[in-house]
Structures are given as C-alpha cells and as structure tokens.
Chain A
Amino acid sequence: QAGLTQPPSVSKGLRQAATLTCTGNSDNIGNQGAAWLQQHQGHPPKLLSYRNDNRPSGISERFSASRSGNTASLTITGLQPEDEADYYCSAWDSSLDVWVFGGGTKLTVL
C-alpha cells in the first residue's frame, strides 16, 4: 500500500535549522494532516507533533510542524547533537483505511 515520501537523509550544522519534508496525497496528508515522530537508535518512537502543528507537552518549541497541500514539514531550529535521530511522518489514509508512514529521514547534526 502507498506510503508517504521522505528524503532518506538530511545533514545540517550545529545550531542551524533543518526542514524535513513528507509528501503524500489528498487522501492522507492533504485531507487528514500529518504527525511527526522522532526515533533515536535502539529506542521506541516519540511523538513530536500531531494534527499538523500541535506539540505534546514536553516537546521543545524548537520543533515546529506545518502543512501545505499534500506536503507536511517539520522544522527543527537551533540544532543540537541530541537531535540526531530518525524522523518519521505518519498520516491516516481515508481511501485505504490504514495509517501510513514515511520511510524516515536520518538527520545528521554536523
């Protein structure tokens, strides 16, 4: 079944900003919005944002999410070494009646 499209890797410098993208279609991101999760090696995923731009309590304001059409974005400002992780987007697909994930983006902080 169709998933969401994310770039495999992004590299940015310490204290810089990184924007990660996630492309879907009108049945998932375009209709339902997207959620973003962070996963450090050897750990379970952690929810960073939901309904496009809502942050759970405890998530740093350095993480902000948005959506434009069928593409969702996660911007991380003031990059820190601990931001180095895999980032996944996810959305409900109303046509397929399934949740779909992107393939994940590995963020490297130089």
Chain B
Amino acid sequence: EVQLVESGGGLVQPGGSLKLSCAASGFTLSGSAMHWVRQASGKGLEWVGRIRSKADNHPALYAASVKGRFTISRDDSKNTAYLQMNSLKTEDTAIYYCAGVSDGFDVFNIWGQGTMVTVSS
C-alpha cells in the first residue's frame, strides 16, 4: 500500500523551530517531487513548498509566506522528506500535509494524513 506518514508536529512558541518528517512506504521517494501543503483550522489549502527529485537539479521552491524561514529537504536513503520550520509565527498554526507526485502524474496524487503544528505562547 502506498502511504505517506507525517510526524514531528506539536506545540512551539513563536520564534521557535520545528522539523517535520514525511516517511514514504510502498512508494519510492527518490524519483519523485514532494510537496508540503498546510491548512489552518476551518480554512482552505495553502501550498508551502516543493522539492524535486535529486536527478532533477532544481532548487526547492517556497510560498512567499514561508520563504527564508522554511526549508524542504529529502533523504532518499531513508525514503523520507523533511520540512524545517524556523522563526515560527502564530499564523503558521495549521495541519501540515506532505504530498507526493508519483510516476505518470504532474501533481500531488499521494497525500499523508497530516500533522498538527501549533504556534502559541
């Protein structure tokens, strides 16, 4: 079964940092782009950023709201993608989903269950 499982969410104070993980099973991350998408409570989906496969030598891209604070990375040997979040703000509070793009697709077709991040003092 193809599955993405996020972890690492939790409560953090404003200005703090958190690193989310997205572990893939039944799905090889190495040749795939990985996205992070977030959703604040009662709100719509917001794209956070994307990293392409190592073979596709493009830098990661980010939404303007997180650029310079968030970094997406991947460890293909662990079949895992990451979202490092620094200088967190209260408005970053949301469920964070990782979403993968498998062969034959050009858009996120595999989604994790999400992990909750709460930024509050």
Contact = CB atoms under 8 A, between A and B. Distances in A.
B43 to A, nearest CB: 9
Interface of B: 35, 37, 44-47, 50, 61-64, 97, 99, 105-109, 111-114
Contacts of A100: 47
B20 to A, nearest CB: 15
Interface residues of A, number: 22
A93 to B, nearest CB: 10
Contacts, number: 55
Interface in A57-110: 86, 88, 90, 97-104
Nearest to A35: B107
A35 to B, nearest CB: 4
Given A45-B97, A50-B106, A88 B45 contact: yes
Q: In terms of DSSP, what is the predominant structure of the interface of chain A?
A: strand
11 contacts: A35-B108, A44-B111, A45-B99, A47-B107, A50-B106, A51-B107, A98-B64, A99-B47, A101-B46, A103-B44, A104-B45
Interface of A: 1, 35, 37, 39, 44-47, 50-51, 56, 86, 88, 90, 97-104
